[in-house]
A and B are shown apart, each in its own frame.
Chain A
Amino acid sequence: MAFIPSRRKKHRGSRSGEVKLQLTSMMDMFTILLVFLLKTYSTHGQLINPSQDLTLPISEIQHPPEVGLDVTVSNDWILVNGRPVERIESVETLDGFVIPKLQTSLSAYAQHGQRLEEQYGTPFSGKVTIQGDRNLPYRTLIKILATCGQSDFPNMRLVVYRKEG
C-alpha cells in the first residue's frame, strides 16, 4: 500500500532554491544611524524655533537656549510670538528709543505674566528671546532692546547659532 506523499516533506528537497533575505548589512547601517542620532539627541527638544527667512549671527557662546517670550526681527516686520507688530521701516525713521506699538504688545504680555504670578504662582521671569538677522543695523537693534527693557522684560537673550568645536 502506498502512502499519500506528505506535503510538508515535499519542500525539503527544494530548499536550495529558496532566497533568504540578507538583513545583516541593513542592520549595520541602522546601528550607525542609531549611534549618530543618539549623539545629536537633545533632552529638552527644540525650545526656540528659528525663523525661516532670517540668518542668525554666529557666536562662540556655549549657553543653551532658554524659554522666553519670542521677539523676532525679520527683514520687514517685528513679530511678538509670531504676530506682526510693527514695520521695520517705521522703526528706522523713529526718533527716540522706545517703539510704541512694540511696547504696547510687550506690556500686555508682561501684565498677563504678572497676573499669572499673582493668581497661580507661576513665576514671571521677564525673559525675552530676540531673534534678529545678522545684517540688522545697530540703530534698529538698540531700539528693540531699549523697548524690551522699558516693557518689563529686562532679561534679554539674543539667539545665535552656536559655532562648533
Chain B
Amino acid sequence: MAFKPSKRAKHGFELEHTNITPMMNLMVVLIPLLLTSAEFVKLGVVELNLPPAAVGPESEALAQMPIESFQKLDLAVTITNQGFFISSAVAVLSGDKTGEPTIPLKNGEYDFSALSEKLFEIKNKAKDRFADIEQIILMAELDVDYQTVISTMDAARMYKNGNQSILLFPDVSLSAGIF
C-alpha cells in the first residue's frame, strides 16, 4: 500500500500571500474621493473695514461711544510712486530729507520690511496712549496696483522678527487717497 503523500512536505516552502484585494478596492474608492475634495491652491481672505462714516449700522454703534474721551492716533500710510509716507493726526514722518517719503523705494521696489519695522517702532511708542491703536488707514495713488496694496496690508498687520511675529495694526481701512 502506498502512503498518502505528505501535505506538509509539499506546501511548507510556499509563501502564503496576504489577500490585499479588499484593500485595493478601498484605495480605488478613497483616492478619487480625496482627489475631488483636495485644494491645491490655498485661498485666503483679507477682511476689510470701511471707514465708519461710510458704514450704516456700525457707525451708529460707534456714535454712542464717548469718542471725545479718547485720543486718536489716526495713523495713515500713503503709497506713492516714490515710496511710503507715514502720517498721523498730528504729524507726517519725513524721510532723511524734508519732502521725501518716510520709506523711499529701494532699488525701484517698495520696501515692505522697512515699513513693517517702522510701524513696529510706532506701535511700541504709541501703545497705551491712543484708543485706535489697532487701526491704520491706507491711501494710495491712482496707479498703485492691487498686489502692492495687499502687500502693504501684510506689512501693516504683522511684524516678523526671526521666528516670532508681532501683531501691529490689523484693522485696515482704505481711504480714497489722493485724487
Render B29-54 as a binary contact track against A, CB cut-off 8 A, 1 for contact: 01100110111111111111010001
CB nearest neighbor in A for B172 = A158
Binds B, one of A83-91, A100-108, A129-137: A129-137
Our pick among A37, A57, A141, A161 for the contact of B34 (Cβ within 8 Å) is A37
Give B138-179 interface residues, CB cut-off 8 Å to A.
140-147, 149-151, 153-154, 157-158, 174, 176-177
Interface flag for A120 (CB, 8 Å): no
Shortest B69–chain A CB gap in Å is 26
Chain A residues with Cβ under 8 A from B20's Cβ?
A: 23-24, 27
Our pick among B37, B44, B141 for the contact of A61 (Cβ within 8 Å) is B44
Query: B146 near A46 (CB under 8 angstroms)?
Result: no
Chain B residues with Cβ under 8 A from A164's Cβ?
A: 42
Query: B143 near A139 (CB under 8 angstroms)?
Result: yes
Query: B31 near A42 (CB under 8 angstroms)?
Result: no
Query: B24 near A27 (CB under 8 angstroms)?
Result: yes
Query: B146 near A133 (CB under 8 angstroms)?
Result: yes
> Given A34-B34, A40-B39, are A66 and B147 also a contact pair (CB < 8 Å)?
no
Query: A65 near B44 (CB under 8 angstroms)?
Result: yes
Interface flag for A41 (CB, 8 Å): yes
Give A121-165 interface residues, CB cut-off 8 Å to B.
129, 132-139, 141-142, 145-146, 149-150, 152, 154-162, 164
> Given A38-B34, A41-B34, are A138 and B144 also a contact pair (CB < 8 Å)?
yes
B interface SS class: mixed
> How far, in angstroms, from A24 to B142 measured CA to CA in the complex?
62
> How far, in angstroms, from A145 to B174 measured CA to CA in the complex?
9
> How far, in angstroms, from A155 to B146 measured CA to CA in the complex?
19
> Given A137-B143, A142-B174, are A157 and B45 also a contact pair (CB < 8 Å)?
yes
> How far, in angstroms, from A16 to B37 measured CA to CA in the complex?
45
Query: B48 near A156 (CB under 8 angstroms)?
Result: yes
Shortest A132–chain B CB gap in Å is 5
- Tier of interface size on chain B: 35 or more
> How far, in angstroms, from A63 to B45 measured CA to CA in the complex?
6
Chain A residues with Cβ under 8 A from B158's Cβ?
A: 60
> How far, in angstroms, from A133 to B38 measured CA to CA in the complex?
24
> How far, in angstroms, from A143 to B176 measured CA to CA in the complex?
8
> How far, in angstroms, from A139 to B174 measured CA to CA in the complex?
12
> How far, in angstroms, from A72 to B158 measured CA to CA in the complex?
27
Query: B145 near A158 (CB under 8 angstroms)?
Result: no
Chain A interface (Cβ within 8 Å of chain B)? 20, 23-24, 26-27, 30-31, 33-34, 37-38, 40-42, 45-46, 48, 50, 56-66, 97, 129, 132-139, 141-142, 145-146, 149-150, 152, 154-162, 164
Chain B interface (Cβ within 8 Å of chain A)? 17, 20, 23-24, 27, 30-31, 34-35, 37-48, 50, 54-58, 79, 140-147, 149-151, 153-154, 157-158, 174, 176-177
**24 pairs across A/B with beta carbons < 8 Å?**
A38-B34, A40-B38, A50-B41, A57-B146, A59-B154, A61-B154, A63-B44, A64-B44, A64-B45, A129-B45, A135-B145, A136-B146, A137-B142, A138-B140, A138-B146, A142-B177, A149-B55, A154-B54, A154-B57, A156-B48, A157-B45, A158-B46, A158-B48, A160-B45
